Amino acid sequence: MLAHRPDGWYVCDPFSGQFSRERKIVARTRTDAYEVVDAAIRAMPGVTTRRMFGAEAFFTTGRMFAFLFDEAIVLKLPESERQDVLDARQARPYLTGERAPFGRWVESLIHGSEAASRAIRLAAAAHALAQSPQHDGPRKRRAPVKRRGGSRRANQEA
């Protein structure tokens, strides 16, 4: 349940009637940099999108290579490119939770035209990595293990 307060929108706990400041909902407008980066990624060949993690996720050949938040882009980069942007402090490792790094994924802010240009260049590198045939790609499910001698039920009935 939502309730409007003078300092913004808050979520109201229906059981206690208390307003939670930690779960504040803020209406955000997308910046020009967001729109430019979003349009550039969508223009790349074979890109599909889906909402995930509260953001727009970008896929090619069935592999996710980026997701875009209002203020940042998160990318899975080739190791050499990843290390370069981390060393130059143009990105930081993307963390799940408080301190757990999310594989080879990095997060880069997209404020301003220079940052948007960098984000588009990095997205192109992530897109190329996802399309490369030697890339690990999504994990394949293993075939079910076949048991020798039939099922237990067949053995019990005999």
Using one digit for the tens of pLDDT, what is the confidence trace for 122-136? 999 999 999 987 655
Q: 63-85 burial by CB neighbour count: b if 16+ within 10 A, else e?
A: bbbbbbbeebbbbbbeeebbeeb
Rounded-to-integer distance, Cα 98 and Cα 96, Å: 6
Note the pLDDT tens digit of each residue in 45-84. Answer: 999 999 987 889 999 999 999 999 888 999 999 988 999 9
Secondary structure letter of residue 150 according to DSSP: -
What are the two backbone dihedrals, phi and then psi, of residue 100, each rounded to the nearest 5 degrees? -90, 115
User: May I ask the CATH architecture of the domain 31-131?
Assistant: Alpha-Beta Complex (3.90)
Residue ranges per domain, the chain?
1-28, 31-131
